[in-house]
Amino acid sequence: MIEIAIMIEGQDGLNWPRWKRLARTVEELGFVGLFRSDHYTNANPPDKDSLELWISLAWLADETERLEFGPMVTPFSFREPTMTARMAAAVDDLSAGRLILGLGAGWQDREHHNFGHDLLDVSGRMDRLEEGVQVVSALLQSDEPVDFEGDYYELHDAILLPRPQRPGGPPILIGGNGPRRTLPLAAKYAAEWNGVFMTPAAYKELNSRLDELLVANGREPQVLKRSLMTGTRFGRTEQQVREKIARSGGDAQRLRDRGIVVGSGDEFSEQIKAFEEAGVQRIMLQWLELDDMDGLAAMAEVVLG
């Protein structure tokens, strides 16, 4: 049965009161996990609250009991990989093994300009991502000191101590839909691939391609978990759904064509079922209304029963 988690955009107003309320609500409602983005700020002004990711995850690790959680995703464009590995191992240990380590290349121009980080062109940032994933993997998985020589990063007799309590450390998630760089990277290094905003048909097609890449890398297809992060336009009533669609500036079918789950009641849950049939094992539903806990509870009644 498909697992259902919540994903929030931390750069769109997240602060400590909202984070604490969200975490406790998501766990109490029975969702399998809570995931959040990692940004300094929102893509367009004015600036909003954006609670720092790793500090928030350390709090979550100690204050929840059941939720899986993690970044969607933490980018090497402003997260140095050796420190990322250290933080991830510590947070995973603190949670007794509930962290999913989502790693990414970075994309948002504004935050990199504002805070002085070099985003690089697309090719460069993907090269840096691959090196970063290799560095994190080596540090988490090796019980012996490791060396690495790349264009962006170097290791010399490097070892993480204490060693992660979970053998190999937290599982690495690679997110994205790119067939040339992202899927091969997931097939080689990841424990979980996360597709982003796509229809069930598109997901099924990429999922099949991923199976081929896994086999080519000497890995069995079943070793890689398959997940999807996508948007929602959920309402308790059809009128609420129409209002949310109107605020999006589109229509229901156009949103569904982008992979967004739209509707109320059975209409909403049937779209999730279609993703499950396409091979999605865990769906992360993007919840943008950070103060609407009643709406989140209503959605839980529909999708969790």
pLDDT of residue 250: 77
Residues 177, 186: contact at Cβ < 8 Å?
no
| Closest of 284, 305, 291 to residue 72, by C-alpha | 284
The number of residues making up the chain comes to 305
pLDDT of residue 109: 97
pLDDT of residue 166: 97
Q: Which CATH number fits domain 3-228+280-290: 3.30.930.10, 3.20.20.30, 3.40.190.10, 1.10.3720.10?
A: 3.20.20.30
Per-residue b or e along 166-195, where b marks 16 or more CB atoms closer than 10 Å to that residue's CB: beebbbbbbbbbeeebbbbbbbbbbbbbbb
Residue 253 buriedness (CB in 10 A; 0-12 / 13-18 / 19+):
exposed
Give the C-alpha separation, 160 to 270, whole Å: 45
Q: What are the C-alpha distances in Å from 58 to residues 61, 73, 252? A: 5, 16, 38
pLDDT of residue 173: 98
pLDDT of residue 215: 98
3-state secondary structure of 289: coil
The two tokens of residue 259 are 């992979």
Give the C-alpha separation, 4 to 304, whole Å: 8
**Phi, psi angle pair for 47, to nearest 5°:** -65, 145
Give the C-alpha separation, 115 to 277, whole Å: 43
DSSP string, 157-206: EE--SSPPSSTT-SPEEEE---TTTHHHHHHHH-SEEEEES--HHHHHHH
**Which element (helix H / strand E) includes 263?**
strand 261-263
Helical axes 182-189 vs 200-216, angle rounded to 10°: 50
Give the C-alpha separation, 164 to 80, whole Å: 19
DSSP string, 52-99: -HHHHHHHHHHH-SS-EEEES-EETTTS-HHHHHHHHHHHHHHTTS-B
Strand 192-196 and strand 225-234: the pairing is parallel
Quickly tell me which residue has 């067939």 as its tokens.
179
The two tokens of residue 174 are 């690679």
pLDDT of residue 248: 80
Residues 168, 99: contact at Cβ < 8 Å?
no
The two tokens of residue 66 are 């059941």
The residue extents of the domains of the chain are 3-228+280-290
Residues 4, 31: contact at Cβ < 8 Å?
yes
Amino acid symbol at 183: L
Consecutive 10-residue averages of pLDDT for the chain (305 residues): 97 98 98 98 96 98 98 98 98 98 98 98 98 98 98 98 97 96 97 98 98 98 98 95 88 94 96 98 98 98 94
The two tokens of residue 295 are 């709406």
